[in-house]
Amino acid sequence: MSTAYLSHPHCRRHDMGPGHPECPERLSAIDDWLIASGIGETLVHHEAPEVKMADVERAHTHGYVAEVSEVLQTCAATGTSHAMDPDTVACPHTWAAALRAAGAAVEATQLVLDGRHENAFCAVRPPGHHATRDQSMGFCFFNNVAIAARYALDVRGLQRVAIVDFDVHHGNGTEDIIAGDDRVLMVSIFQHPLYPYNGAVPKGENMVNVPVPAYTKGLEVREMVEAMWLPALERFKPQMIFISAGFDAHREDDLGQLGLVEADYEWLTLRVMDVAARHAKGRIVSCLEGGYHLGALARSVGVHLRALSGV
């Protein structure tokens, strides 16, 4: 089993300002942990390429892509910043980072489908799962996982893919993009009510949304996954699985109030791998979403990668 690890230095240069939780230090913390633990030596490292706009437009409207591209390129050219919303700020380096983040997801999909690696993890910023078809929000500009999933379907010819989202916040952008697309099953668990304050009522029959109250702990989450996610995934028989890997449901993370710990992320990863082994030839592409307590993020990504790589 080999696991690809995709990232790019540009992803560290995207900076939404002092004190912002979605900060460049997130990737540095992950890298430091991979070095200290030795896990990094077991991974096959790839530099993320820039995404093609044609691939971005498989998930986002042409008008949205044109608008965001103009804003981000203007920031790059003028050295200025621009607030897309109160929480989502483009800086002069955001355009380059966003291209590499989405490009990593598509490249990882190609690497896995070409049989070069069984699975892949994209350590990228900005994250993506709040970006809807036509709106940036929640620290997100392009929806990396949705772009990759649509690439697998529309370009590589897969018939069924699943998206697993265990971020503490509902992946409303991904839901907006894929709701009603019967080629995609999305299963997610998230704290509710919490930003973006939706998801309790799914937008389509291809969604398994599991909202949970604040202070829910890992054992309860596992029981819900066993009861609701896994049967749906078994029935669907995905040919590939994409993970929106947010680690902000960790009990040490202040952006949510759930009680997961590293062992829970390992368990979630292994359960998804079980489904992938049965139906998808083990094919998984995981993309970093949330996770803002640097220590908890690094440790949680570490167990996630240890499970994916089988070490």
Give dist(CA 246, CA 288) in Å, integer.
6
Residue 209 token pair? 């949304």
Give dist(CA 12, CA 123) in Å, integer.
10
**Per-residue confidence band for 12, with pLDDT thresholds at 50, 70 and 90:** very high
Model pTM? 0.98
Q: Which of 184, 127, 130 is nearest to 152 (CA)?
A: 184
Q: Is 90 exceeded by the pLDDT of residue 51?
A: yes
CB atoms within 10 A of CB 105: 30
**How much of the chain exceeds pLDDT 90, in percent?**
100
Q: pLDDT tens-digit profile of 155-172?
A: 999 999 999 999 999 999
| Structure confidence at residue 162 (pLDDT) | 99
Q: Is 90 exceeded by the pLDDT of residue 14?
A: yes
Burial class (CB in 10 A: 0-12, 13-18, 19+), 57: middle
Q: pLDDT tens-digit profile of 118-134?
A: 999 999 999 999 999 99
Quick check: bond before 196 cis, omega within 30?
A: yes
Q: Is 90 exceeded by the pLDDT of residue 79?
A: yes
> In sequence order, what are the residues at sequence separation of 6 or more whose Cβ sits closer than 8 angstroms to the Cβ of residue 70?
none
Q: Is 80 exceeded by the pLDDT of residue 1?
A: no
Q: Is 90 exceeded by the pLDDT of residue 211?
A: yes
- Taking CA atoms, 150 is separated from 31, 37, 56, 144, in Å, by 29, 34, 9, 10
Query: What's the CATH code, domain 3-309?
Result: 3.40.800.20
- Total residue length of the chain: 311
DSSP 68: H
What residues are annotated to the active site? 130
Residue 133 contacts residue 60 (beta carbons within 8 Å)? yes
Give dist(CA 149, CA 264) in Å, integer.
25
Mean residue pLDDT across the chain: 98
Q: pLDDT tens-digit profile of 256-288?
A: 999 999 999 999 999 999 999 999 999 999 999
CB atoms within 10 A of CB 227: 10
CB atoms within 10 A of CB 263: 12
Give dist(CA 169, CA 271) in Å, integer.
21
Q: pLDDT tens-digit profile of 160-209?
A: 999 999 999 999 999 999 999 999 999 999 999 999 999 999 999 999 99
Burial class (CB in 10 A: 0-12, 13-18, 19+), 245: buried
